[in-house]
């Protein structure tokens, strides 16, 4: 019970005293990793207010491309998003989908009619039961 109270106090301190636009992306990634909804929501709100400046930098764009799909939708799909040029969002989503498509293609083996795509443990096997990766 004491630990829960301390964690909530830490969340409040991070949100109120440490979180600002320059470090919101780092805190957001950590909040996602540690499943901290309070910090993630605070980061999302801050990132939504400053999305133009995030899109304007190479590191900001790389950050957005690295987000999991559900977080990308959550961040950019709300009406509270403050963007001056909606065309930049279309460009971002296009790049995001191309990036995800390329990432998936590098992780999956070439299409092979002999592969039944059964996932056994962490490896796909072909119809002969041979490990494909």
**pLDDT of res. 89:** 85
**pLDDT of res. 14:** 95
Asked, for residue 132, whether it belongs to a domain, the answer is no
Asked, for residue 22, whether it belongs to a domain, the answer is yes
pTM over 0.75: no
Asked, for residue 31, whether it belongs to a domain, the answer is yes
Asked, for residue 94, whether it belongs to a domain, the answer is yes
Asked, for residue 133, whether it belongs to a domain, the answer is no
Q: Kindly give the confidence (pLDDT) of every residue in the chain, 133 residues in length, as a single tens digit, with 9 standing for 90 and above.
A: 898 999 999 999 999 999 999 999 999 999 999 999 999 999 999 999 999 999 888 899 899 989 998 899 888 888 888 888 888 888 988 999 888 877 766 665 555 555 455 544 445 555 566 655 5
Domain count, the chain: 1
Count of CA atoms in the C-beta half-sphere (13 A) of 87: 1
Which residues make beta-bridge pairs with 124?
Answer: 119
Asked, for residue 100, whether it belongs to a domain, the answer is yes
C-alpha of 86 from chain center? 20
Asked, for residue 11, whether it belongs to a domain, the answer is yes
d(CA 100, CA 96): 6
24 Cβ contact list (under 8 Å, min separation 6): 43, 46, 47, 50
């Amino acid at each position: 019970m004491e630990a829960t109270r301390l964690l909530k106090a830490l969340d409040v301190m991070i949100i109120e005293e440490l979180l600002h636009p320059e470090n919101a992306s780092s805190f957001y990634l950590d909040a996602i990793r540690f499943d901290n909804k309070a910090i993630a929501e605070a980061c999302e709100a801050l990132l939504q207010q400053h999305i133009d400046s995030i899109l304007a930098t190479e590191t900001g764009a790389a950050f957005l491309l690295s987000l999991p799909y559900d977080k990308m939708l959550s961040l950019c799909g709300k009406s509270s998003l403050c963007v001056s040029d909606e065309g930049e969002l279309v460009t971002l989503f296009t790049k995001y989908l191309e990036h995800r498509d390329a990432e998936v293609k590098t992780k999956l083996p070439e299409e092979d009619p002999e592969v039944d795509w059964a996932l056994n443990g962490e490896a796909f096997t072909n119809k002969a039961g041979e490990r494909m990766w």
